[in-house]
Amino acid sequence: MENKNIKELQDHIDNFVKERDWQTPPSDILTHMIEELGEVARNVLHMKNYGGQHTSEKDINMNEELADLLYLLLKMSNECNINLGEAFARKMEKNAQRFPPKK
């Protein structure tokens, strides 16, 4: 699965969700995204040793939390009938024009 393009990932998640009857409205997906973003934030704080906490490497699992966010982003895109690969390409073209590279 690691070499799939964005459309293939969206299709995979669409099947995964339907097979489990896990369809949820965008508002629920958004709430879940915020929860997962909080888990990413907690990992970042651990990585910075925020508050002097002693955190072992095994307590930091950024890979899993970013994967959770990607799953939800793909699920949200499906729920909103958005081709995320096309949307991303168009937005990056806009960004490239708006923010030209420094010489």
Binding site for Mg ion (CB under 5 A): 36, 39, 65, 68
Contact indicator for 78, 16 with CB cutoff of 8 Å: no
Taking CB positions, which residue lies at the least distance from Mg ion? 68
Among residues 9 and 71, whose Cβ is nearest to Mg ion? 71
Give the amino acid at 72: L
Which among 62, 63, 44 is positioned nearest to 53, based on CA atoms?
A: 44
Q: How far is CA 78 from CA 4, 26, 88, 93, in A?
A: 16, 10, 14, 22
Least distance (Å) between residue 36 CB and Mg ion: 5
Least distance (Å) between residue 64 CB and Mg ion: 6
Least distance (Å) between residue 68 CB and Mg ion: 4
Among residues 62 and 84, whose Cβ is nearest to Mg ion? 62
